[in-house]
């Protein structure tokens, strides 16, 4: 397989052929909540019509780079440049679909090895060329936007050819993997040998190990299998001034933990070319369960107790009233939906909140945990119709991002925001973020519809994940989005949350980093960065590099 072929269509999510029509129930609900914009049909522009900045890569630099990767792995054609100009944030989608790209890499480089990456970074450092590392390009926070940070030229270094599983240590249950390995390739290779990483972000199909590590990713099973930062035991990072190799160590007390600085560094320190990850034996059984609760508070209490009482669900999500309603609205048959709601009403549940769970492990153990969990759910007023809602959710769990593309064509804004907080602050934070996003949208005359779920459980708290819909404000789409984003971010800060639980900082969240940690920490990060990247070529405008003015 030629990994240098982009896996995603250049203007949106994933591959063509996966977009169904917006389901009538969803459309009806958005019409009621936001006012469906009748007659809008805004397909993406043609690739040839995209306004692309002229390439400015000096010939001398190109020659030096070509000495490392050979000329056919320096690509400067339109399709390649556009495909590597941005990720899949809402602003990215606006710019791509509209064909108004203020930035793009001059060239995309495809090194074949870690050592190639070392050499390319050394050249870029010498030549003062900005570098944007690129895995799958699925960032939803502007993490791969090809900013050049004041440099004349900018290249994108794709890790697509670093696609090997280097080794599997079956005794230590670790796998050493190159950065460019894509999720499905990794899982199928591991599963063939009886193992799994268990890392399934929504971007799973199109994202890479290096991207996961660089962005401190979490997946839909991270409650059970751990976030990526919990699963990295060693790594190799190329920087403009040398290589950092962190040996594989299950735990160390040798000062501050360098793994936890390179994990999440988002390409600002260098390029992670290889990581050693914890793997697990594939579970003997995966046991689904699902419950409806009369309100968000009782569901939250149940899901909290599941975690705190040690029942260790591997997947756990609680949708609030809006998200549950939106999910039910997309059910196949209206009859089915009405029947379910009637059933729940009889049992005292008028505004259902759906909790889906999955327990992995030895069959007997998974069933015992499920059974103990059911006692808690019942105690808190839950009603179950069996595990089917979990199975159904799982079946569609990678398809939601496609909906964004369709809604944009219809003139509907859709974005997601996420945070985490201690349990004692979850209910207030849930309410205040929603309220502030709704207020910001209403103020612009475009009422919003806000869904939320709890996921990623910890004994101390959980993540809150929002999906927001609104009519697009024609001609002021970016301003509208910025107002929404600001309202959400500020509400997270005010309510004791973090600006991101697992999307990363990128360009979009960079303004909130000093608000969350204070000014000293970003200063410390910038000082540490200057040691490995004194010229500041690595991923300008992201994370502690602050947002770039466009």
Provide the annotated binding site.
133-139, 266-272, 404
How far CA 294 is from CA of 322, 326, 341, 425, in Å, comes to: 13, 16, 12, 20
CB atoms within 10 A of CB 37: 18
List 90, 103, 225, 465, catalytic entry = 465
Cα separation, 201 vs 219, in Å, equals: 4
Cα separation, 161 vs 159, in Å, equals: 6
Nearest CA-CA partner of 180 in 217, 141, 208, 203: 208
Helix (H, G, I), strand (E, B) or coil at 287: strand
Using the minimum distance from each CB to its own copies, give the nearer residue, 17 or 255. Answer: 255
Binding site as annotated, residues for substrate = 404
Specify whether the CB–CB gap between 358 and 287 falls below 8 A.
yes
Using the minimum distance from each CB to its own copies, give the nearer residue, 83 or 416. Answer: 416
Least distance from C-beta 287 to its own copies, angstroms? 15
Least distance from C-beta 96 to its own copies, angstroms? 24
Using the minimum distance from each CB to its own copies, give the nearer residue, 119 or 305. Answer: 305
Specify whether the CB–CB gap between 537 and 153 falls below 8 A.
no
Residue 465 is a catalytic residue: yes
The alpha carbon of 463 is separated from its chain's Cα centroid by a whole number of angstroms, namely: 13
Least distance from C-beta 252 to its own copies, angstroms? 4
Sign of CA dihedral 315, 201, 517, 262: positive
H or E segment and range at residue 400: helix 400-409
Cα separation, 138 vs 534, in Å, equals: 28
Least distance from C-beta 516 to its own copies, angstroms? 6
Binding site as annotated, residues for FAD = 133-139, 266-272
Cα separation, 268 vs 271, in Å, equals: 8
Tokens read off for 198:
């268990």
Using the minimum distance from each CB to its own copies, give the nearer residue, 37 or 497. Answer: 497
* Residues belonging to the active site: 465
């Amino acid at each position: 397989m030629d990994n240098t072929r982009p896996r995603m269509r250049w203007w949106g999510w994933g591959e063509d052929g996966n977009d169904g029509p917006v389901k009538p129930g969803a459309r009806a609900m958005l019409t009621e909540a936001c006012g469906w914009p009748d007659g809008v049909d805004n397909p993406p522009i043609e690739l040839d019509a995209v306004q692309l900045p002229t390439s400015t890569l000096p010939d001398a630099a190109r020659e030096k780079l070509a000495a490392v990767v050979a000329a056919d792995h320096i690509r400067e054609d339109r399709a390649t440049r556009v495909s590597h100009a941005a990720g899949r944030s809402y602003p990215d989608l606006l710019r791509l679909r509209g064909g108004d790209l203020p930035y793009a890499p001059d060239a995309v480089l495809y090194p074949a090895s870690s050592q190639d990456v070392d050499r390319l970074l050394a050249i870029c450092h010498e030549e003062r060329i900005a570098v944007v590392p690129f895995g799958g390009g699925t960032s939803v926070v502007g993490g791969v936007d090809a900013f050049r940070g004041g440099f004349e030229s900018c290249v994108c270094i794709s890790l697509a050819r670093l696609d090997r599983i280097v080794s599997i240590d079956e005794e230590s249950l670790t796998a050493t993997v190159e950065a460019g390995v894509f999720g499905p390739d990794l899982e199928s290779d591991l599963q063939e040998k009886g193992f799994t990483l268990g890392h399934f972000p929504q971007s799973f199909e199109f994202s890479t190990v290096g991207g996961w590590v660089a962005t401190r990713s979490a997946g839909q099973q991270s409650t059970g299998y751990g976030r990526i930062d919990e699963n990295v035991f060693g790594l190799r990072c190329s920087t403009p001034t040398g290589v950092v190799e962190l040996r594989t160590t299950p735990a160390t007390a040798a000062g501050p933990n360098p793994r936890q600085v390179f994990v999440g560094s988002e390409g600002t320190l260098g390029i992670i070319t290889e990581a050693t990850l914890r793997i697990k034996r594939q579970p003997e059984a995966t046991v689904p369960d699902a419950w409806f609760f009369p309100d968000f508070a009782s569901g939250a209490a149940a899901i909290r107790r599941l975690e705190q009482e040690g029942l260790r669900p591997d997947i756990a999500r609680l949708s609030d009233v809006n998200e549950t309603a939106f999910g039910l609205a997309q059910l196949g048959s209206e009859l089915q939906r009405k029947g379910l709601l009637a059933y729940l009403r009889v049992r005292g549940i008028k505004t259902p909140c759906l909790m889906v769970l999955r327990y992995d492990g030895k069959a007997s153990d998974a069933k015992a945990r499920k059974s103990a969990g059911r006692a808690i759910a019942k105690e808190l007023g839950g009603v179950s119709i069996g595990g089917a809602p979990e199975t159904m959710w799982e079946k569609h769990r990678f398809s939601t991002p496609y909906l964004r593309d369709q809604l944009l064509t219809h003139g509907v804004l859709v974005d997601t925001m996420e945070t985490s907080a201690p349990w004692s602050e979850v209910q207030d934070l849930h309410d205040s973020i929603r309220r502030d996003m709704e207020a910001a949208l209403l103020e612009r005359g475009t009422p919003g519809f806000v869904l939320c779920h709890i996921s990623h459980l910890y004994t101390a708290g959980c993540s809150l994940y929002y999906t927001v819909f609104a009519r697009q404000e024609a001609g002021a789409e970016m301003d509208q989005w910025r107002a929404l984003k600001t309202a959400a971010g500020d509400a997270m800060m005010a309510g004791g949350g973090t600006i991101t639980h697992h999307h990363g900082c990128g360009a979009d969240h960079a303004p909130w980093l000093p608000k969350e940690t204070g000014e000293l920490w970003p200063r410390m990060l910038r000082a540490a960065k200057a040691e490995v990247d004194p010229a500041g070529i690595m991923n300008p405008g992201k994370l502690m590099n602050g947002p770039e003015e466009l």
